[in-house]
Structure 1
């Protein structure tokens, strides 16, 4: 009788159960809040026509970086009215979920008000109040200082606009 086949089948079954168990733990929020729950933060990569791969939040809205910020050390220079137009992506209660982003590139910086802001390759991340839906890029190139963020943290210059709401 060949005993190799039952051993192989058992090993495959064990791997499948372990994989499903690991997914179940993450889906149950063992690593933090589930998608859409308070405190959930996500960085994902989406493709926008004419621009390419951009970093988005959990709602699919484009994230931006500000040329007046610093990446070394990570420093935000957008406060007050600037932060109203360009809301900082604040760190949640758990490590952000990542889709297409390397975890070694993600960090935080402490803002002047003491809150923690998520960074990508050292650059603080922001939304734009003029983007109302996923895939919009209304802040791109605003005042020559606001740019959508590529998955490696670099700025995307394609699709820029003249003027815009910037600081």
Structure 2
């Protein structure tokens, strides 16, 4: 078998996964391979897919980067997943055109500490819409404005 045609094995470098995960009291949110909640930024654009979070913002809200192979999907339609080019040349994953991010304040699977931060950051649902239930509606720790 030609192993190169299938891409990286699960859990190996280059492997990226997006999964629809049920969160009590919230509903389905998109998580990565480590089970961390992924977010979207209201100041981004979905058409065309554009990220407006770089420099210090990208430290607080690290972009979810594409791997070497197409992401493995669980409960998410392949047709809604894409990428956008970041200023540094890396490729950031998108869902229904919205750039995907992690939150540096989420330390364990299932946490949604960035939910509602500054009124612009929201967990992303499997269809690309923002999740408005659950979490806090307070500024993110540090009050950086992102």
Aligned-residue CA RMSD in angstroms?
1.4
Question: What does the per-residue CA deviation read over 1:86-107, in whole Å, with 9 as the maximum and x for residues that have no partner?
Answer: 1101111100000000000000
Q: 1 CA distance for matches of 2:4 and 2:11?
A: 11
How far has the Cα of 1:112 moved from its partner?
1.6
Q: Would you say how many aligned residue pairs link Structure 1 and Structure 2?
A: 141
Does the 8 Å CA contact 1:88/1:125 hold for their aligned counterparts? yes
TM-score (norm 1): 0.81
How far has the Cα of 1:79 moved from its partner?
0.3
Does the 8 Å CA contact 2:113/2:135 hold for their aligned counterparts? no
Name the counterpart of 1:149.
Answer: 124
Name the counterpart of 1:158.
Answer: 133
Greater helix content: 1
Question: What does the per-residue CA deviation read over 1:120-148, in whole Å, with 9 as the maximum and x for residues that have no partner?
Answer: 00000000111111100000000000000
Q: Which runs of 5+ in 1 are unaligned?
A: 1-24
The answer to whether residue 34 in structure 2 is matched with residue 67 in structure 1 is no
**Secondary structure of the equivalent of 2:58?**
helix
Question: What does the per-residue CA deviation read over 1:140-167, in whole Å, with 9 as the maximum and x for residues that have no partner?
Answer: 0000000000000000011142111451
Structure with bigger gyration radius:
1
Name the counterpart of 1:37.
Answer: 12
Q: Which of residues 18, 21, 36 in structure 2 aligns to 1:46?
A: 21
Q: Which runs of 5+ in 2 are unaligned?
A: none
Does the 8 Å CA contact 1:35/1:58 hold for their aligned counterparts? no
Q: 2 CA distance for matches of 1:82 and 1:112?
A: 13
